[in-house]
A and B are shown apart, each in its own frame.
Chain A
Amino acid sequence: MLAAIAWRNLWRNKLRSAVIITAIAIGIIGTVVTDGFMSGMTDQRVNAAIANEVSNIQIHNPAFLLNEEIKYTIPQAQKTGNTIRKNQDVKAVSLRLKCQAMASSAIAGAGVTVYGIRPDDEKQVSALHEHIIKGNYLSGKQRFSAIIGQKLAKKLDLGMDDKVIVTLADTTGTITSGAFQIVGIFKTSNDMFDESHVFILKSDMAKLMGFSSASSNEIAILLNNNHSTRSVVRELNKTFKKEIAAHQIVIQSWDQILPILKSLVEIMDYFSYLFLLIILVALAFAIINTMLMAVMERTREIGILMALGLSKRKIFSLIVLETVFLSITGALVGILISISIVYHYSIYGFDLSFVAAGGLNSIGYSSTIFFRVSNNFYLATAIMVILIAVLSSISPALKALKLQPAKAIREDI
């Protein structure tokens, strides 16, 4: 009966209930959709970084990581690579040479990272070949060819078929350089990446650096699923226990390679919850206010309920129940609408180009964002809203308890 009274009380002033339900729904839609957007944005950044830049897992010689000195190669890289390929979560493995160098044209120079790769392997691991906007990806056949980022091409004023001079220090520390013909220009969603990377054939690079072409100082591993990164790292750490103990290799996941990216993910999460909190404070206020007024408006009615013998506990639960019903309705409406909005943008994407005309590439984002909201966030939102509703109903419910039946009944409605 109490529940029935509380539920029907909701519909006594339909406009009022509708207003509060809408406010709660808007609050939920606002926070959930914002979270969907922000998660979509970080996902996109993380996925792009994994796909084009760092892969899921990388293996290096620990000494190489200190200063990226090229002489620290991975012992028995081929064998290691083949062992890794046997792991069923691993999609592909690429062995690379990596070196800090200077790329220059006739008019300018720039600090870059040069990668020596085997195109067939690299294509399996990195999606960069899908981002070629001019020319073609490297092929094993054409020697002394290079692909460079669009930003870098512009900076060095280089075009297709021009030569880029790569200057680096070889294994002995001697500075050497080689000229590479540009066969392709790539453009990812991250300008900073495009500005600082040159890809050449591994065999050419080994020759320039004075290595045998079998040497590698980086092994990049792409997994079938990003979520298994942690578990695969654990497995590999077991498989290569001996090598790791002997300080021959070190295995890192993408978030260890790009800690900034990981903090970005965490900070975005943190902001989502902070925003949820701010919205909840505003909601709590609206709810407290409305329910307090509802109690004042019904002073006489509550007085009569008390006269009839309704215990304080029941009066209290009556008000709490009404608030909870109000919030659950609002939460349901809000979550249903949020789910459909998030679903829509998770499939069709949200085009951001109207905010920044040139897109967001210069800060590392593509301008179409695919929303994602974790189930946890939905759950947290729903729970928090109901929790806030219960908390907000306490003050109005206490106010109702303070009423004296004899006095309340004298009150005019």
Chain B
Amino acid sequence: MSIIEVKNIYKVYNETKVPVNALNGVDLKIEEGEFTAIVGPSGSGKTTLLNILGGLDLPSKGDIFIEETNLKDLSSRQLTDFRLHNIGFVFQSYNLIPVLTAKENTEFILQLQKVPKKERIQKAMELLEAVGIADKADHRPGQLSGGQQQRVAVARALASQPRFIIADEPTANLDSRSTNDLLEIMAEMNRKYHSTFIFATHDQRVMDKAHRIVTIDDGKIIGDETFKGR
């Protein structure tokens, strides 16, 4: 069974003068442990789709199931709770809470989940170690480079061991070395913890690492390739 199943979803933005059809009938299944890239030209609907997959937004039409749960059936409060326990996020930039240190940011979700302090700190340090910035644990985001910030964001997303992690252009602001490092870390996590990753990206290097590439244009899926053995 797939972790995510999207059935014929549409998304229309009505707030503008001319309604925008951002998604026009998307069907998609994501399996556990996948490392999937969603690609497509700017404005094609990648972010819109990821937001819906991540429970940040609801489709105008169609259903989205995460395992057995139809997100449409959840109240806004349940949806918030659902995100907290099931989904990890990495955004393009300014992911972190500026007043918290790297360690505190990593702990943050665990704390919301009411994980005991000792366990929490241990987990946070383990992950910061894994993403290679344990030495910067007490720095605030403002004192970290863009790449370092993104690593903390990945550590935070993984800390609570979510069902899957959504990353919208996580490497867009990074140079090639940081991009490689970050991808390496995510691939490692994918292997080690069997975490499911879904990216939106324009970045060829990310596509090169992906196990599956879903191409989207004009709100429609126009390609879906799987690369075994990567």
Contact = CB atoms under 8 A, between A and B. Distances in A.
Interface stretch (A17-25, A93-101, A297-305): A297-305
A363 interface: no
Given A309-B109, A309-B112, A304 B80 contact: no
B84 A1 contact: no
Contact of B94 (A300, A307, A308): A300
A406 B77 contact: no
A15 interface: no
A9 B82 CA distance: 27
A307 B97 contact: no
Given A1-B112, A11-B99, A405-B56, 17 more contacts: A1-B104, A4-B99, A4-B104, A8-B100, A12-B98, A301-B94, A301-B98, A307-B54, A308-B83, A309-B85, A309-B109, A310-B84, A310-B112, A405-B57, A406-B56, A409-B91, A413-B94
Interface residues of A, number: 25
Nearest to B153: A304
Nearest to A305: B97
A5 interface: yes
Contacts of B97: 5, 301, 304-305
Interface in B54-98: 54, 56-57, 76-77, 80-85, 89, 91, 94-95, 97-98
Interface in A4-51: 4-5, 8-9, 11-12
B80 A311 contact: yes
B108 interface: yes
5 contacts: A1-B112, A8-B99, A310-B84, A406-B51, A413-B94
A118 B80 CA distance: 86
A306 B104 CA distance: 17
A312 interface: yes
A307 B100 contact: no
Contacts of B82: 309
B47 to A, nearest CB: 8
B207 to A, nearest CB: 23
Interface residues of B, number: 26
Contacts of B47: 410
Nearest to B111: A1
Contacts of B85: 309
A311 B75 CA distance: 12
A185 B215 CA distance: 106
A307 B57 CA distance: 10
- Shortest Cβ-Cβ A-B pairs, 10 listed: A309-B84, A8-B99, A406-B57, A406-B56, A309-B83, A406-B51, A405-B56, A1-B111, A307-B89, A311-B80
Contacts of B56: 306-307, 405-406, 409
Contacts of B108: 1, 308
Nearest to B92: A409
A312 B76 CA distance: 9
B118 to A, nearest CB: 16
Contacts of A12: 98-99
Given A304-B97, A409-B56, A309 B51 contact: no
Contacts of B104: 1, 4
Contacts of B100: 4-5, 8
Which of A308, A310, A312, A405 has the largest count of B CB atoms less than 10 A from its CB? A308
Query: Which secondary structure dominates chain B's binding surface?
Result: helix
A310 B100 CA distance: 15
B80 A310 contact: yes
B10 to A, nearest CB: 16
A304 B99 contact: no
Interface in B103-117: 104, 108-109, 111-112
Contacts of B111: 1
A308 B99 contact: no
Contacts of A311: 77, 80-81
A245 B81 CA distance: 76
Which of A1, A300, A312 is packed against the most chain B CB atoms within 10 Å? A1
Contacts of A300: 94
B99 A9 contact: yes
A398 to B, nearest CB: 15
Nearest to B168: A409
Contacts of A301: 94, 97-98
A312 B56 CA distance: 14
Nearest to B142: A12
Given A305-B97, A413-B94, A312 B77 contact: yes
B153 to A, nearest CB: 10
Nearest to A11: B99
Contacts of A306: 56, 80
Contacts of B112: 1, 308-310, 314
A41 B1 CA distance: 83
A312 B80 CA distance: 8
Contacts of B109: 308-309
Among A1, A309, A310, A311, find the residue whose CB has the most chain B CB atoms closer than 10 A: A309
Contacts of A406: 51, 56-57
Contacts of A8: 99-100
Contacts of B91: 304, 307, 409
B50 to A, nearest CB: 10
Interface in A387-413: 404-406, 409-410, 413
Contact of B89 (A4, A5, A308, A404): A308
Contact of A307 (B76, B77, B83, B98): B83
A282 B95 CA distance: 36
Most chain B C-beta atoms within 10 Å of own C-beta, residue among A12, A310, A404: A310
**Among the interface residues B56, B77, B91, B104, which one has the most CB atoms of the partner chain A within 10 A?**
B56
A409 B91 CA distance: 9
B83 A304 contact: no
A305 B84 CA distance: 10
